[in-house]
């Protein structure tokens, strides 16, 4: 049985002071450790050290939103997975659609980032998802298949234990237009079958998160689908109460 993961992707939001406040609120509400539900927050790089400090006594895990490839080197402005491990992260989000579209990240680059994350003994949350135009023209499965294959290129079946997939339809991110539970489940089922083809015998153990306008109101119906193993939550994770309600939705199942 896969445990659920509820991950907050804070994106480029929050000063250090705001991070401290939000984390303290979350830590007060989420004191317990729960076998069925793992909770993760991914603040901006500048807040990671403060977040790690504030999370010390809690069961909430810390993640980053991106990294570069390799350990170190002449890559002005970049941060490696090794550095993120040192600061106390246990997860790194890789290949988010905002990085793919705004920063032109390719599947090849994403796959090299995933390799670096795993080499640093961290877990990778690998994001995939189709645009509205791709869905309308019936390309959803082809896009998901291509992104999955490209982003996980070079990995072995034993690497897959440290990989979580986030299915995030681009048309649902930050738009308030959540995928219906049926649409999301169909995509998740497809992703799992593709994973089984790529890494036989592993797919039942891989968590596939849904992301795209998750709110407390739609969380239960999404998380109760058999192939939806939690959520990558953007906007709604910036409000402690709303994020806790989403976590509680996962706990209630």
Interface residues toward ligand PGA, by CB under 6 A: 9, 168, 173-174, 211-214, 232-236
| Closest distance of CB 144 from ligand PGA, Å | 16
Reply yes or no on whether 86 is catalytic.
Answer: no
Catalytic residue among 168, 185, 188, 194: 168
| Closest distance of CB 231 from ligand PGA, Å | 8
Are 94 and 153 spatial neighbours (Cβ–Cβ below 8 Å)? Answer: no
Closer CB to ligand PGA, residue 183 or residue 198?
A: 183
Closest C-alpha to 122, from 91, 84, 165: 91
How far is it, in rounded angstroms, from Cα 94 to Cα 212?
16
With vertex at residue 225, the alpha carbon angle to CA 139 and CA 113, rounded to the nearest 5 degrees, is 55
Q: How many CA atoms lie within 13 A of 104 on its CB side?
A: 0
| Closest distance of CB 194 from ligand PGA, Å | 21
Closer CB to ligand PGA, residue 60 or residue 209?
A: 209
Closer CB to ligand PGA, residue 22 or residue 233?
A: 233
Residue 217, helix vs strand vs coil: helix
Q: How many CB atoms lie within 10 A of CB 2?
A: 14
Reply yes or no on whether 188 is catalytic.
Answer: no
31, exposed or middle or buried, with CB in 10 Å at 0-12, 13-18, 19+?
exposed
Task: Output DSSP code: residue 218.
Answer: H
Closer CB to ligand PGA, residue 44 or residue 235?
A: 235
Catalytic residues: 96, 168
């Amino acid at each position: 049985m896969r445990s659920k993961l509820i991950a907050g992707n804070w994106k480029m939001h929050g000063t250090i002071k705001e991070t401290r406040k939000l984390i303290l609120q979350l830590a007060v509400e989420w004191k317990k450790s729960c076998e069925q539900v793992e909770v993760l927050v991914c603040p901006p790089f500048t807040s990671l050290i403060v977040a790690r400090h504030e999370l010390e006594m809690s069961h909430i895990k810390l993640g980053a939103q991106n990294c570069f490839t390799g350990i170190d080197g002449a890559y002005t402005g970049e941060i490696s997975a090794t550095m993120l491990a040192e600061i106390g992260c246990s997860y790194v989000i890789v290949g988010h659609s905002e990085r793919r579209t705004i920063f032109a990240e390719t599947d090849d680059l994403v796959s090299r980032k995933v390799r670096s994350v795993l080499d640093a003994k961290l877990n990778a949350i690998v994001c995939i998802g189709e645009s509205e135009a791709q869905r309308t023209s019936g390309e959803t499965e082809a896009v998901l298949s291509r992104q999955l294959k490209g982003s996980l290129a070079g990995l072995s079946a034993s690497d897959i234990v440290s990989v979580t997939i986030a299915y995030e339809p681009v048309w649902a991110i930050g738009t308030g237009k959540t995928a219906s539970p049926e649409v999301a489940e169909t995509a998740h089922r497809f992703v799992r079958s593709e994973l089984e083809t790529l890494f036989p015998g592993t797919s039942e153990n891989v968590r596939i998160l849904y992301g795209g306008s998750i709110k407390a109101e739609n969380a239960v119906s999404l998380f109760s689908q058999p192939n939806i193993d939690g959520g990558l939550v953007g906007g709604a994770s910036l409000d402690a109460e709303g994020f806790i309600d989403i976590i509680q939705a996962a706990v209630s199942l």
